[in-house]
Structure 1
């Protein structure tokens, strides 16, 4: 049977970084991984992080956990039919309830082929401390992702002082006392932690579909290169309800657009060495008025 791990967590928490770390370690262990990714938006930005040679299927602009469940089943079934692999890593969109996402995994079409090991939730520790500033619907989803985890990564601990670290870990532990909690920076954990997982029984949960969360996506396209300082000044003007930005930003003087990630007020730039579409996906609440500078 194929071991299956589901990576959950709110937008910008570090799920894709965890995915990349695990792909490296799984291959070093002599195993072949495959990936199923769910992205909230029209563009396959996160899937660009999956290296060549790793079987990959995607569900774009939909949710693995609600209306996209049948599409997810079809994608996983195709993956099983076309590829041979030992481990399947499923990365859900930040708007997905982790328990609802299990519907696609436990499809009667292929359930006997899959050994579900557990839900790994990447929790942004800084966002945890500021959770009361979220809208009620978003906060509820954020807490549910932690509540139903079998393993919790209290991520971005390097951004907190010692007291804040303790408050974050104690709070998450109070919410989910059954899960192991690991303090991390950049989602770094050994693959052995996943191998030791044993999924618990999940109870009935109330659905929290994307529409109820008022989350929207918006694609912004660049007509010409931008000045990096001016672009970062623009980021500082964005409302707090912009939870995530990802894509490729063309900068003055550079041949290729830079890979760009933004979450919780923090930006990350990575150089690219090939021609990518100069555009970004903005994810958040009430983002209709968000436009490029």
Structure 2
């Protein structure tokens, strides 16, 4: 059976950065990996950031893999296996996914003889994780999800320790240990971690189903590929979409999870960098995550932006071809029209 490793963690904890290192490791070890990428919104920035990894990816969009798109996970997983013949699969869940429900979805009858659970890895951002666990009846839906991500993890990795002070890092570790007294706690900086220790974790716990198999290709691919459920996209081959400046203007309705919403905006013109920086630095308190791509009006190069409160990060993207310019904003009680207007004002 093919081991599936689940990556969870709240918005902006660093899951995709860790995933890139995991993919590099298993490829060097002679294994062929594949990825199921779950995005809360309608477009996956994280999938696009994996382009250089040359790894087959299946997107599950417009919802959380553990709830609104749960019914399509088995179908997506089977089709990915048919197309990519992987030896190992990594499932990166959206930041609001509950690992218990994801594990339950992997136990669907269709997957029973095909995949096994390799491990549940949870990333905790040292700068944002709550420093206390309030009584359960007072917890918000987002708080319960964050705590469950830690509670049911095989390994908890604390990220952002390089930008958090020692006292906060120590307090976060104490909360993590309160929630999960058995899982190893590792420190992750820029996605760097002892990958072998991660991938062997369930075999250390005596679960023989979790051993990483030696390379063996599947030999019974289906002759036809069935239609995918709504919200799931194949990305096994290279994207061939139009460059950013040719995309027609569009704005899409928000996807919701409790009080959490996501807003998708597609840029129709190049963006003035100074205006974009100002927009990101002045995002309202309710915004928990923002990410996307834009074409710089001065250099005409594509840039990726990432925002985890309180700091934005902008980096030049090496190849404009095939990547649209768009923004995804995730938060609570978003003033959608106002945010759209501000994004439009960033364009030249």
Common fold: TM-score over 0.5: yes
Residue matched to 1:139: 143
Q: 1:163 aligns with which of 153, 167, 170?
A: 167
Structure 2 unaligned regions, length at least 5: 206-254
CA–CA separation in structure 2 for the residues paired with 1:19 and 1:79: 18
TM-score by length of 1: 0.90
CA–CA separation in structure 1 for the residues paired with 2:320 and 2:275: 24
CA–CA separation in structure 2 for the residues paired with 1:166 and 1:191: 23
**Counterpart of 1:103 in 2: which secondary structure?**
helix
CA–CA separation in structure 1 for the residues paired with 2:197 and 2:313: 27
State the 1:221 CA deviation.
2.5
What is the correspondence of 1:78-89 to structure 2 with a 5 Å cutoff?
A: 78-89=79-90
CA–CA separation in structure 1 for the residues paired with 2:281 and 2:49: 26
Cα pair 1:69 1:103 within 8 Å, conserved: no
Pair 1:180–1:17, CA change in 2 (3 A): same
CA deviations on 1:40-93 (whole Å, 9 max, x unpaired) are 111122111223642221111122111311211110011122221111100011
Structure 1 unaligned regions, length at least 5: 201-209
Cα pair 1:131 1:139 within 8 Å, conserved: no
Q: Which has the larger radius of gyration?
A: 2
The total of aligned residue pairs comes to: 285
TM-score by length of 2: 0.76
Cα pair 1:153 1:187 within 8 Å, conserved: no
* TM-align CA RMSD: 2.3
State the 1:252 CA deviation.
2.5
**Counterpart of 2:100 in 1: which secondary structure?**
coil
State the 1:161 CA deviation.
2.1
Please state if 1:245 is matched with 2:290: yes
Runs of 4+ that moved beyond 4 A: 129-133
Cα pair 2:293 2:302 within 8 Å, conserved: yes
CA–CA separation in structure 2 for the residues paired with 1:131 and 1:253: 46
Residue matched to 1:224: 269
CA–CA separation in structure 1 for the residues paired with 2:271 and 2:32: 41
